[in-house]
Each structure stands twice: as C-alpha cells, then as structure tokens.
C-alpha cells in the first residue's frame, strides 16, 4: 500500500512529457518576445539551478525529474503571464511618455516609423529630458492630448481627404508631442488661421522625412501650388541616421510585414525593457542647471549633446560626415520632388533650447552659440532659390525679454521642446512670414 500511495504522487510519463512540452513552449515564447538573446543562456542556467535547489526542499513531490518539470512549467508560465499582463495593465510604468506607447516601425518599410492609426490620448505627462532621470523630482507635469489619423500621423481623422493648402514635414519639433494637441503651432495654424493642412512630422531625420513624403503624398490631396513647409532642427538633424536610398521600395511580402510586427512586439516586452533599465544610466547626458534660475528655486534641464552642437561653426557643419548628404543629395531630392508635384518648398530651421538659453547653462558667457547650422541652411536655400524662414534671431531677442521681464520661458523646463508659449510664438511667426510671401 505504501508503494501505491507513493506512486500516486508521481505524474504519469505521458503527463510529465506534456508538462515538459508546455513548459518549453512557455519559455520559448518568453525568450522570443522578451529576453535579449545574449542573456538567454545564462538566464536559463540560473533558472535550472534554482529548480534543482527547490527540488531538494519538497521531497513529497516525487522523483526529482517530476519536480523539475512542474517547476519548469510554473516558472515559465508565470513569467510569460507577467510579461503579457504588464503590456496591458501597466504600460504607463514601461512607457513613461504616453506617445511612445504607439510609436512603431512601419511594416511597409521598417526604416520608417508611424504611430498606430486612430489612437487618442488625454492625460498627464512630462518632458523627455525628465524621463531620462530616475525619480520624479524634475518633472514638470502637464496635461497632454494627441490624436493619430488613419495613416498614423498626428492629424484629426479625415484630414487626408481634404484639399490641402499646406503640408508640414519635420521631426518632433513640428509634431508637438509634449504639448496639448490644440496648442501646438501646427494645430494653431489649422484651427485659428484657417489653413487646410496635413502634418507629416514624426521623430525622424531628414532623409527619413524625404522618404515619408514620397510614400505618403500620393494618398493626400494638395492643391496645385500648395506649400510644403520643411522644418529642420539644429539639435540633431545633422547627426541623425541617413538612409542610402531616396525612393520607396517594392511593397513587402506578407511574411516580411509579419517579421516587422514580430520584431516590434518583442522589442516592447516590459520585462525586456526592465532588464535594459537595470543597466547603469549615463546621467552625464542630462544635466540640471540652476544658474540664474536658482534665485527662483526652479530647475532647468538640458541635453548635453545639443549644448555641444551649438558651438559648431559654418565650416564644421559643412565638414560634418552628414553635411554633404543633407545639404546635397537630400536637399536636391526634396526640391526636385516638390517641383514634380507642384508644391512650393519652404525651409524653416528651429534652434535648440540650448542655443537660446545658453546663459542659463554655460559658466563661460564669452562662449556664444554659433548657429552654424542655420547659416549653412540659409546659404543653401539662397543658392537653390528656396524660401527660407529663420525664427532664431527674433526668438533669441524675445526669449531674453520674456525671461527678463516676466521670468517665463518658451521651452518646457524638463523637455527639449517648446511649451505652450513657445508653440504660440512659432505659430504667430509662421503666419506672419507666410503672409509676407503672399500665402
């Protein structure tokens, strides 16, 4: 009888094999969607060692091979369930900035990005620089709203079906991700100034923007002579990734699209992201400056690489590795494509927060921002007979007066982008400049 009772605690051979197969599937699924491949072997070894240790503690479970199988199944299922559950119920812990939750590689061409179509968010958020610093002490919380259209761009649904006066193309400075949607400079042009426009702007580099335009323009309805306002950013457009092709690729197969979806799904694993975050942060990239503002008891965050790039001269901009690419091939392709599609190309540059508020950052007031990127861009536009909008000189003067007279800024203190006052200023500047051009 004793032997029979002890055998009752031992799973049958078929059941054990079934448990083992299910466990393998669970672990395989989690390794596929979550853990970085270089960590798979050591992580698996640690878990097997844990199983061996635990199996010694519970003799009533039966033979060790049965105990290991049950532990394998339990741990694999628990971790996979945690990974999938966190995606649904705790996304805000993994994606501190809500807009990043829906930003994806585009299956039609994974070198480009889109937001998921027809998404809408309304809630509290904070700045991109604050998100790089552990804790919440430097966050400037604010209400943020944004909405994506049928194509995955930041427009109201149905915007692509309207006849367009204006197409805005650029990066996050034109996308307005960290401000209330209705208060971004692009939406102000739409809602308060009567422009029928479409915003093609996303976090991206100039060559990606060119390709985005070529993929998307056939789906839009610009009027003959509509304006293509191409915005460039001093902070990173020269340093962004540049593609080695300028024309859309052949449509991908269903399997190629699936690989893009799968890669994105795996990359968004919460446990994978937590493993990455456990690595030492490079806090030297973001610095807190309290100069001048210290009297008011306020903080001011800036991005060190942007700060260093404000010192680039015209010569350094031209000699940059990507200088010939941006001011040569990309400019030529953009101008050519605009002409072919009866668009009036206008180029506008944005200065970085670090250029405008350098006196709050530098301990050397004699070292001034060079604005080399803007100067080279302006000269390129003059040579190609393109209209050029440069808000920097006026913005520099107005920002100084606004701080001196009112103690207020045009940028969020915890972010590298304009605040609502800055967005309103840019909208007013663009409207005035377009009117001067007869638009």
* Of 126-135, 278-287, 378-387, the least confident: 278-287
Mode of pairing for the β-strands spanning 221-233 and 344-350 = parallel
Burial of residue 412 (CB within 10 Å: 0-12, 13-18, 19+) is buried
* Intra-chain end-to-end CA distance of the chain, in Å: 96
Over residues 146-175, mean pLDDT: 95
Question: Which top CATH class is 96-247+278-436?
Answer: alpha beta
Asked whether 18 and 66 are in contact (CB, 8 A), the reply is no
In this predicted structure, the answer to whether residue 56 has a pLDDT above a threshold of 90 is no
Give me the pLDDT at residue 288, please: 54
* Of 29-33, 34-38, 62-66, 249-253, the least confident: 34-38
Question: What is the spatial distance between Cα 205 and Cα 240, in angstroms, rounded to a whole number?
Answer: 5
Confidence category of residue 110, pLDDT binned at 50, 70, 90: very high
Give me the pLDDT at residue 58, please: 45
Top pLDDT among 32 and 213 is at 213
Quickly count: other Cβ atoms within 10 Å of residue 55's Cβ: 19
In this predicted structure, the answer to whether residue 36 has a pLDDT above a threshold of 90 is no
Top pLDDT among 313 and 10 is at 313
Over residues 410-426, mean pLDDT: 94
In this predicted structure, the answer to whether residue 39 has a pLDDT above a threshold of 60 is no
264: left (phi over 0), alpha (psi -120 to 50) or beta: alpha
SS3 for the chain is: CHHHHHHHCCCCHHHHHHHHHHHHHHHHHHHHHCCCHHHHHHHHHHHHHHHHHHHCCCHHHCCHHHHHHHHHHHHHHHHHHHHHHHHHHCHHHHCCCHHHHHEEEECCEEEEEEECCCCEEEEEECCCCHHHCCCCCCCCCEEEEEECCCCCCCCCCCHHHCEEEEEEECCHHHHCCCCCHHHCHHHHHHHHCCCCEEECCCCCCHHHHHHHHHHHHHHCEEEEEEEEEEEEECCCCCCCCCCCCCCCCCCCCHHHHHHHHHHHHHHCCHHHHHHHHCCCCCHHHEEEECCCHHHHCCCEEEEHHHHHHCCCCHHHHHHCCCHHHHHHHHHHHHHHHHHHCCCEEEEEEECCHHHHCHHHCCCCCCCCCCCHHHHHHHHHHHHCCCEEECCHHHHHHHHHHHHHHHCCCCECCCCCCECHHHHHHHHHHHHHHHHHCCC
Helical packing angle, 13-33 and 254-267, nearest 10°: 90
Give me the pLDDT at residue 296, please: 56
Give me the pLDDT at residue 135, please: 78
Give me the pLDDT at residue 148, please: 94
Over residues 168-194, mean pLDDT: 91
Over residues 199-221, mean pLDDT: 97
In this predicted structure, the answer to whether residue 386 has a pLDDT above a threshold of 50 is yes
Confidence category of residue 90, pLDDT binned at 50, 70, 90: confident
Over residues 325-343, mean pLDDT: 97
Give me the pLDDT at residue 419, please: 95
Top pLDDT among 118 and 72 is at 118
Give me the pLDDT at residue 63, please: 61
In this predicted structure, the answer to whether residue 77 has a pLDDT above a threshold of 80 is no
Q: State the residue for tokens 């943020």.
A: 144
* Of 64-73, 166-175, 400-409, the least confident: 64-73
Over residues 369-387, mean pLDDT: 94
Of 73, 62, 67, nearest to 23 by C-alpha is: 73
- The mean of the pLDDT values for the chain is 82
> What percent of the chain is modeled with pLDDT above 90?
51
Listed by start position, the domains of the chain span 2-89, 96-247+278-436
In this predicted structure, the answer to whether residue 204 has a pLDDT above a threshold of 90 is yes
Give me the pLDDT at residue 12, please: 55
Top pLDDT among 206 and 31 is at 206
Give me the pLDDT at residue 422, please: 96
Question: What is the spatial distance between Cα 39 and Cα 35, in angstroms, rounded to a whole number?
Answer: 7
Quickly count: other Cβ atoms within 10 Å of residue 247's Cβ: 10
In this predicted structure, the answer to whether residue 44 has a pLDDT above a threshold of 80 is no
Over residues 406-435, mean pLDDT: 94
Confidence category of residue 314, pLDDT binned at 50, 70, 90: very high
Quickly count: other Cβ atoms within 10 Å of residue 152's Cβ: 20
* Of 85-89, 140-144, 282-286, the least confident: 282-286
In this predicted structure, the answer to whether residue 219 has a pLDDT above a threshold of 90 is yes
Confidence category of residue 277, pLDDT binned at 50, 70, 90: low
Give me the pLDDT at residue 181, please: 85
Over residues 320-343, mean pLDDT: 97
Give me the pLDDT at residue 33, please: 54
Give me the pLDDT at residue 196, please: 95
268-290 core/surface letters (b: 16 or more CB in 10 A; e: else): bbbbbbeeeeeeeeeeeebeebe
Give me the pLDDT at residue 286, please: 58
Of 105, 129, 124, 103, nearest to 281 by C-alpha is: 129
CA 52 to chain centre: 43
Give me the pLDDT at residue 37, please: 46
In this predicted structure, the answer to whether residue 52 has a pLDDT above a threshold of 60 is no
Over residues 217-224, mean pLDDT: 97
Question: What is the spatial distance between Cα 405 and Cα 424, in angstroms, rounded to a whole number?
Answer: 18
Over residues 101-123, mean pLDDT: 92
Contacts with 260 (C-beta within 8 Å, 6 or more apart), sequence order: 105, 106, 107, 110, 252
């Amino acid at each position: 009888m004793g032997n029979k009772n002890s055998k009752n605690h031992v799973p049958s051979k078929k059941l054990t094999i079934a448990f083992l197969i299910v466990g393998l599937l669970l672990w395989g699924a989690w390794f596929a969607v979550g853990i970085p491949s270089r960590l798979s072997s050591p992580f698996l070894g640690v878990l097997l060692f844990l199983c061996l240790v635990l199996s010694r503690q519970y003799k009533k479970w039966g033979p060790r091979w049965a105990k290991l199988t049950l532990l394998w199944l339990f741990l694999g299922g628990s971790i996979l369930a945690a990974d999938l559950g966190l995606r649904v119920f705790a996304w805000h812990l993994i994606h501190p900035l809500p807009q990043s939750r829906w930003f994806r590689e585009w299956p039609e061409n994974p070198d480009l990005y889109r937001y998921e179509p027809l998404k809408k968010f309304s809630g509290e958020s904070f700045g991109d620089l604050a998100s790089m610093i552990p804790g919440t002490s430097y966050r400037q919380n604010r209400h943020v709203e944004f909405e994506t259209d049928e194509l995955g761009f930041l427009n109201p649904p149905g915007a692509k079906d309207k006849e367009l006066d204006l197409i805005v193309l650029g990066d996050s400075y034109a996308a307005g991700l960290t401000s209330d949607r209705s208060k971004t400079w692009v939406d102000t042009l739409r809602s308060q100034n009567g422009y029928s426009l479409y915003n093609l702007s996303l976090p991206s580099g100039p060559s990606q923007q060119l390709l985005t335009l070529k993929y998307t323009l056939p789906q839009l309805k610009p009027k003959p002579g509509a304006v293509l306002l191409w915005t460039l950013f001093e902070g990173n457009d020269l340093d962004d990734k540049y593609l080695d092709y300028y024309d859309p690729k052949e449509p991908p197969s269903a399997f190629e699209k699936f690989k893009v979806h799968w890669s994105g799904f795996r990359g968004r694993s919460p446990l994978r992201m937590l493993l990455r975050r456990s690595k030492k942060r490079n806090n030297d990239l973001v610095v807190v400056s309290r100069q001048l503002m210290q009297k008011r008891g306020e903080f001011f965050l800036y991005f060190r690489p942007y700060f260093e790039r404000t010192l680039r001269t015209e010569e350094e901009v031209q000699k940059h590795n990507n200088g010939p690419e941006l001011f040569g091939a990309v400019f030529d392709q953009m101008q050519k494509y605009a002409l072919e599609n009866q668009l009036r190309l206008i180029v506008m540059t944005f200065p970085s927060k670090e250029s405008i508020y350098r006196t709050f950052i530098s301990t050397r007031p004699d070292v001034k921002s060079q604005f080399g990127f803007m100067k080279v861009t302006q000269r390129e536009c003059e040579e190609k007979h393109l209209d050029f909008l440069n808000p920097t000189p006026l913005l520099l003067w107005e920002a100084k007066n606004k701080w001196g007279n009112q103690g207020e800024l045009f940028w969020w203190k915890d972010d590298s982008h304009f605040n609502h006052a800055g967005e309103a200023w840019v909208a007013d500047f663009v409207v005035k400049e377009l009117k001067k051009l007869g638009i």
